Structure 1
C-alpha cells in the first residue's frame, strides 16, 4: 500500500516468514520518491514490429513473382533463339504447338523456315538439272567438235585426194557444226543475262503479224524442216505492239524449233495470232505431246523432256529463254498438252 503524506511517502506491506506474518513500513521523503504512469497500446506495438516483417515478405514475394514471370518470358525466347541458330545452319527447326507470348514471332519464323526449305529444295533441283545439263552440253559440244576435227583433218591431209565437190561438202559440215556450237554458247549467254536481269530491251512498235510471217517463211524455206506442215492463221494484217523485235523473234523461233525437233516429220504446226483486247499468239502442234510430269518443267532451265521420238539435241534452254523474254515484256506464257494430241503454247501480250 502506498500512502503519501505532506513531507513523506510511506510504503506499507506485509510479509510472511516461517508462518509468521509481519508488517513493515518504509518512510521516504517526498523529494526522493516520484511516480510515473505509462500507457501501452498493444496493437500499435504489433504494427510497428510487423513493418520489417511485411517489407521482407513483400520483397520475397516480388522476387518469386519476378522469377516466375522472367522464366515464362525467357523460355519461349530461348526456343526462338535456338530455332534462329538452327535456321542459320540450315537445320530443321522444332515447331511449338503451345500458346506463347511470342506466337506471332514464332508464326513468322515457321513461315521463314518453310520458305527456306522450299528454296533449298528448289536449289537442289536446279543443281541436279545444272549438273545434268553440263553433262548434256558437254556431249553435245563433243559430237560436233569430233565432226569438225575429222573433216578438218581430211581437208588438211595432202595425201588424201578429194574432189572440189567433196571439199565443199566437208567445209559445209565444219561450218554447220561450228554454227551449232555457237548457238549453244549464245543460248547459255542469253539465258544467264535473262536470269540475272541485266538484259536491256530495245523496244519499238512492231507488227506482230509480219514478224510471225517472217519466222514461218524462214522455217518453210529451211531444208531441215521440209517435212513439216505449217499453217499460219491471222484475222488482221496489222497488230502493232511495242517490244524488242529481235528478242520476240527469238521466242517464236525457239517455240517453232521445239515443235519440230520433238515431233516426227509430217507433224502439222499451227501458228495463230488474234486480237481479243490483248494480243494472243498460239503455237501448237499435232504431235506426240508431253507427259504431265514433264509439262510442269517445260520452261525450266536445262530441262529436257523424255517423251520424244527424236534425239534431243540442243542446249535445253530454248523454252526457258522464251519464257523469260515474254515475262520481261510483261506478258504471260502457258503450256498445255495431251499425250498423242500435241502441245500448245499460249502467249498473251499487252
Structure 2
C-alpha cells in the first residue's frame, strides 16, 4: 500500500467489484420479475392449449401419451382435478397444491402464483367437459432453467471482473510510469543536476505537469547559474578594491616615499574603502528589499519637487561636465515611499550624468495620466548596445567595459527595479550605442501596499 501503483490497482478493483455486485443483484431482480411474468403468461397459453386438446380426447391414457410427447419440449407438467378432487398428473413432476386453491379454480377462478416462490411459477385454469367441472394446474417441470440462467449471468460478471482487473493492472502501470520517471528526475534535481528534461508530447494533465516540470528545471538551472555568477561577481567586486588597498598599504611602508605620493596612496585607499562600503550597503539593501522586510511607508508628496531637489544636489557632478538640463515637471503629487523613490531618481539621474558626454544634455519629463505617472529621463551619453539592454537590471551586470572603469558596482539598477516593483511600477530602457539612453519609469498615483 506504500506505492501509488498498488493503491490505484486496489481502488480500481474494489470499485469494479462493488459495481459488479450491484449490477448482478439489479439484473437478477429485473430478470426474475421479467421472467416470472413471462413464464406465467406462457403457462396460461399452454394451459389453454391443453384444455382445447383435452376437450377433443376422451381416453385418459391416450391423453397422457400425447401429453408426454408435448410436455418434454415445452418443459412443463400439468395436473387435472375433477369435481370430486381426483387428481391426474401429466408429466414427471407432481406438485402439491393446497385444497383451497383447487376449490378456488373448480369454482371458476383463475389462480396465478403469488410470487412466494418465483422459481416455481404455477397457474390454475378452470374448464368444463361433459358438464363436469375441472381444474387444470400448469407449472414448469424443471426449475433448473432459471438456475442455469443465473449461472450464465454470474459467469459473465466474473469474466468481466477478471478481464477488467487485468486491464487495470496494465493501465495503472501506464498511468504510474510517468510519475515514477518524475520521481527519478526529482532526485537528480536534488543532487544539483539541472540538465534534465522530460520532453513529453502528451496533451493530458500529466503532459502539462511534465512541461511545467521542464520549465521549473530550466528556471532552477538559471537560478543556480545566477547564484554562481553572483558569488563570482561579489568575489571579483570585493577582491579588486582589497587588492588595491593591500598594495598601496604595503607601499606606504616605504620610509623614503615622497609625501605627495603618500597622500595620493592614502586617497586611493580611502576611495577603495568607500567603494567597498557602498557595495556592502547596496548588497544589504537589495537583500532587505528582496526579503520583504524593508520598511515601506507610503505618504503623499510632490514628486516634481523631489526630482528638482536631486538635480540640485548633483550640481557638482553635472557642472564639471557642463551638462545642460531641460525639465518638464508639472506639479504632481503621488502616494509612495518618499525615501525609496529618492534612491530611484538619484540613481537614474546620476547614471545619466556619469555616462554622458561633456557638454551633453539631459531631458526629464513628467506626464500624469488617469492612474499613473510617467517619468522619462533621456541623455546624450555613450548609450548601451542592444544586446545588453535586457540584462542591465541584473545585479553586477555592466554593459560596457568603459562603465566598469567608473567605479560602478552594477547593483544600482537592480535596486531601482526592485523598489519600483514594490510600488507596483516598472522601468523600461531605450538606447542606441553612441547616441544616448532613455529610461521610462511608470508609477501608480494611488496608495500602494508592498508587493
TM range (shorter): 0.7 to 0.9
For the residues of structure 1 that align with 2:160 and 2:184, how far apart are their CA atoms?
36
| Conserved 8 A contact 2:376-2:439 | yes
Q: Return the offset for 1:295.
A: 0.3
The match for 1:202 is 297
The match for 1:275 is 368
Distance 1:228 1:318, change over 3 A: farther
For the residues of structure 2 that align with 1:160 and 1:48, how far apart are their CA atoms?
120
Normalising by structure 2, what TM-score?
0.58
The reply on whether 1:317 has 2:370 as its aligned counterpart is: no
| Conserved 8 A contact 1:267-1:285 | yes
**More displaced, 42-51 or 70-79?**
42-51
The match for 1:80 is 179
Kindly provide the CA deviation profile for residues 201-238 of structure 1, in whole angstroms up to 9, marking residues without a partner as x: 23333322222122212222138x711514140242x3
| Conserved 8 A contact 1:140-1:313 | no
Structure with greater helix percent: 2
The reply on whether 1:327 has 2:421 as its aligned counterpart is: yes
**More displaced, 143-152 or 205-214?**
143-152
Q: CA RMSD in A?
A: 3.4
Gapped runs of 5+ residues in structure 2? 1-88, 94-139, 190-195, 445-451
Q: Return the offset for 1:89.
A: 3.0
Q: Secondary structure at the match of 1:204?
A: strand
Q: Return the offset for 1:314.
A: 2.4
The reply on whether 1:113 has 2:213 as its aligned counterpart is: yes
Q: Return the offset for 1:93.
A: 2.3
For the residues of structure 2 that align with 1:310 and 1:64, how far apart are their CA atoms?
73
**More displaced, 248-257 or 44-53?**
44-53
Q: Secondary structure at the match of 2:279?
A: helix
Normalising by structure 1, what TM-score?
0.72
| Pairing partner for 2:320 from 204, 212, 226 | 226
Q: Return the offset for 1:168.
A: 6.5
Distance 1:279 1:116, change over 3 A: same
For the residues of structure 1 that align with 2:404 and 2:90, how far apart are their CA atoms?
125
**More displaced, 50-59 or 329-338?**
50-59
| Conserved 8 A contact 1:220-1:230 | no
| Pairing partner for 2:159 from 60, 63, 82 | 60
User: Which one scores higher on RCO, CA 8 angstroms, separation ≥ 6?
Assistant: 1
| Conserved 8 A contact 2:382-2:433 | yes
The match for 2:336 is 243
Kindly provide the CA deviation profile for residues 59-105 of structure 1, in whole angstroms up to 9, marking residues without a partner as x: 234211232144224422332343244235334225253x7xxx23x
The match for 1:217 is 312
Q: Secondary structure at the match of 1:346?
A: strand
